[in-house]
Chain A
């Protein structure tokens, strides 16, 4: 029975985003749509264990949810403005008895509109991240709170505030106009990547809880890629290559997760045991990277994926194609210049052309004062140049700035391993 319950819950989670988006298209009020879908989910959990899971579970939930939404619209005469209510009622009445097979284009359109709605620039980044997990990931508020290590009431309040703003300020449930599409898609990609990074940056104690976030981000990126048009003329506008690039990047990072840590210690890429990397996932990531790059619409996610793919393709750390990676960081700087990108570029040049080249580039980086990665990168290159005394100073400097305990442990280990003198 318990297994059956789990299977039902899985089916519901898989259908949740589609159903919610479809109801939203009718009511245009996210809180109301969510409440109606929750009513339908409750009904499914009561009915299905007795009568079996229907042939098309999504259609079943959607039909019940629309009916529940209609009930709620009719009951809630005061909360929303009259005109909106009438429109919602008309739309729901028309669709409540609609045939249960829906056009795939319509389903895709509704889910895309949901992505644009929850990643609207008028909604804060923190809220976007929670909302995309809630609406399209089907995660409960409690699950989101657990993953972000936040109290449930905090996350609940954040979600509510965002939903109220959507309704009161009237953020439209539409596809953005042509000229705004690229920027709006970038916002969607950024939100998905943030979900991933939240999970990826987790330390060992919290890893089990938070790895879900990586899996969820991958699922969302895959969904987005499926939803985007694949005709070559529309690709550039719809950021298809970048969406694929993001999916590729996250796939590659996720494939290496087993090698990143050992007994709570952070293992740098060059010391990782490559045999524990997920070879199938790496192949998939490399394939996606090539596919994205073949579209000839370069962008920052694709370049980062290409860098990750080069690391994945190297049989050992010593075989890494550093000159190619150095060139890719230069390309990345053209799209997204930041001190951190410059730092990585300098480190890659140091690996490709000798530590002195990298050190000279590091010296030219400004606006990174107080950030531990700069002295840490300098320390690493000085160590490789066998300038151990200077390396020691740089490690000490980095240790004074680092906040994350796990990264501090790594730096301390490197410092202790330095040979006595030059």
Chain B
């Protein structure tokens, strides 16, 4: 069973963080990723640039509408994700709780649909 761990955070908090706290967070992410690898559950993952860099595309009646910005304005924004493979939702939720941003943001766990 595979799950996507989606990391939502208030980007303003990230921007306001001082360099020392930022280093600590990076270190926490580094060791979290290591843990996922060691446990053999990590399938992939990435951090994303902020929503300032997002572009949304919709095609309606054959016409492509391109807009500056994310799909929706929200208080917390998608900042990155991990793809993991584990036995069940309880295990996935445990990994989600260990994600460093769970302390400040929201981690959404979504099962991946296999066709």
Q: Which of A100-108, A128-136, A169-177 contacts the other chain? A: A169-177
**Cβ-defined contact, B111 with A168, below 8 A:** yes
Contacts of B73 in A (CB 8 A): none
The smallest C-beta distance from A121 to any residue of chain B, in angstroms, reads 8
**Cβ-defined contact, A172 with B89, below 8 A:** yes
Chain A residue nearest in CB terms to B88 = A172
Contacts of B90 in A (CB 8 A): 171-172, 174, 176
The smallest C-beta distance from B4 to any residue of chain A, in angstroms, reads 11
| Given A81-B114, A170-B111; A122-B93 close (CB under 8 Å) | yes
Q: Chain A: how many interface residues by the 8 Å CB criterion? A: 9
Residue B54 lies at the interface, judged by CB distance under 8 Å to chain A = no
**Cβ-defined contact, A171 with B88, below 8 A:** yes
Q: Chain B: how many interface residues by the 8 Å CB criterion? A: 10
Chain B residue nearest in CB terms to A81 = B114
Chain A positions 247 through 258: 1 when the CB is less than 8 Å from some CB of chain B, otherwise 0: 000000000000
Whole-angstrom CA separation of A81 from B90 in the bound complex: 19
Contacts of B93 in A (CB 8 A): 122
**Cβ-defined contact, B114 with A169, below 8 A:** no
Chain A residue nearest in CB terms to B109 = A169
Interface hits, B73-115 → A, CB 8 Å:
87-90, 93, 109, 111, 113-114
Contacts of A169 in B (CB 8 A): 89, 109, 111
Chain B residue nearest in CB terms to A167 = B111
Residue B57 lies at the interface, judged by CB distance under 8 Å to chain A = no
Chain B residue nearest in CB terms to A168 = B111
Whole-angstrom CA separation of A370 from B113 in the bound complex: 46
Contacts of B1 in A (CB 8 A): 170
Measuring CB to CB, which residues of chain A are less than 8 angstroms from any residue of chain B?
Answer: 81, 122, 168-172, 174, 176
- Nearest first, the 3 A-B pairs at minimum CB distance are A172-B88, A169-B111, A170-B88
In the complex, 10 of the A-B residue pairs with CB atoms within 8 angstroms, ordered by the A residue number, are A81-B114, A122-B89, A169-B89, A170-B1, A170-B111, A171-B88, A171-B90, A172-B88, A172-B90, A174-B90
